[in-house]
Structure 1
Amino acid sequence: MSAVAQTTYSESDYLLMEEKASYKSEYFRGEIFMMAGGTPSHNRIKENLSGEIHSILKGRQSCRSYSSDQRIHIPSNTLYTYPDLVVVCGPDKFSEKDKNSITNPTIIIEVLSAGSTGYDRGDKFRLYRDIDSLQEYILINSLNIGAEVFRRTPDNHWLLASEGYKLTDSISIKSLEASLLLSDIYDRTQNVLEGVVAEPSEE
């Protein structure tokens, strides 16, 4: 992401600007960052994930999902952002400064792109870990076939708990007592059409 300007904004300034803007931006500690649009594969994966999660949650009253238009807020570190997909279990809680920003996601899913991979894996993940309600953080690669589930442990550590790198693999989502097949996540994406398969990183 890139900063809009070298100007410090208050959270109130940001929320007013965001209400009128024709594009989405993140806010962090006085700075506003415009969010880039996704590629066809990125957007197709988001649609597939939304459909799969909706099917899992259908009939359940305790959990619901939200698309990338739903803003979340982390009061402890000031971040306002729009994850690709959010699941909330239990009553929605909202920011004291903005009734439209959710503060208690249970699951956050981000679809990685060329420009966001480092941020989503690094700084953004560290900021997300300040959310007390967050139990699982799921990363889906839009450039290659690969999915990872990071899960909070009872002693408040984060571990890579489930991963897959082939279309026949599946990932486990403990919070929902469910699993997702990678073939469903990548259905009709360019990754599948080109037969691209990712291997686990050695890092």
Structure 2
Amino acid sequence: MEAEPLKDFSLEAYLSLEQESGIKYEYHDGTVVAMAGGTIEHGLISGNIFGELKLGLRGHQKPCRAINGEVKLHIASFNKYLYPDAMAICGPLQRAPQHQDAIINPTIIVEVLSASTERYDRGDKFFFYRQIPTLKAYILIDQYSPSIETYNRIGDLWQITRTTGLDKSLAIEALNLEIPLSAVYEGVEWE
């Protein structure tokens, strides 16, 4: 069952709700939606990709850092606060002026797809993310089979690349980084 959205919330009320409840919520210009719990596979994959990003960016030629799914992303043009599964930021970390615990300048965003969020992640959420000027790549990881789609920004266009199979590697051009799919899916068991 999906949670009922809470409507007519001010930003202050939203931030207070999160702080008091300890529950993560997305904020959509006045509407607040509780974040659903994920599957074991989702948790493994998002932890693995964060770990691989963190390791891969250590000692990187330009200062980049990995951020896990606990950090909010603010998209000012839509007055949204979202929680991507992982992000990487290159250059100085920029915080949202209204809320210092949210960032505004990801270089890449990663989402692990689930049956309940796939349409949103591919559709409206990707539309919102595309409005972020610093975003160079959007990565969608399938949790049901070893398959990853990468959308790379080239000027005003987005080029898609699909990488499939545990013997392949995910190339993240924006970070000059390659990650084996076997590492992304480590510990995941499919029926």
Shared fold per TM-score greater than 0.5: yes
- Please tell me the TM-score bracket, short chain as reference: over 0.9
Q: Between Structure 1 and Structure 2, how many residues are aligned?
A: 189
The answer to whether residue 172 in structure 2 is matched with residue 173 in structure 1 is: yes
1:2–1:119 distance in 2 versus 1, CA, 3 Å: farther
Structure 2 residue runs of 5 or longer lacking an equivalent are none
User: How much does 1:15 deviate?
Assistant: 1.4
Mapping 1:146-185, distance limit 5 Å: 146-154=147-155, 156-160=156-160, 162-185=161-184
CA distance in 2, matches of 1:20, 1:152: 38
RMSD of Structure 2 on Structure 1 (CA): 1.3
Question: Could you tell me how far 1:2 is from its partner in structure 2?
Answer: 3.8
Deviates more, 1:45-54 or 1:72-81: 45-54
- 1:180-199 matched pairs, under 5 angstroms: 180-191=179-190, 194=191
**Aligned positions of 1:57-136 closer than 5 A:** 57-60=57-60, 62-136=63-137
Q: Distance in 2 between matches of 1:32 and 1:190?
A: 34
Paired amino acid for 2:180: L
| C-alpha separation in 2, matches of 1:108 and 1:97 | 22
Displaced runs of 4 or more, over 2 A: 1-5
Identity, % of aligned pairs?
37
1:13 alignment partner in structure 2:
13
Match of 1:197 in 2: none
Superposed displacement of residue 118, structure 1: 0.6
Other-structure match for 2:144: 143
Indicate the SS of the match to 1:14.
Answer: helix
**Aligned with 2:77: secondary structure?**
coil
Residue ranges of structure 1 left out of the alignment (5+ in a row): 195-203
List per-residue Cα deviations over 1:8-33 (Å, max 9, x = no partner).
Answer: 11122211211222211100121001
Cα deviation for residue 153 of structure 1 reads 0.9
Structure 2 SS opposite 1:3: coil
For 1:147, the aligned partner's letter is: I
- How does the TM-score come out when normalised to structure 1? 0.89
Q: One-letter code of the match for 2:126?
A: F
Distance 1:152 1:173, change over 3 A: same
- Give how far 1:168 is off: 1.1
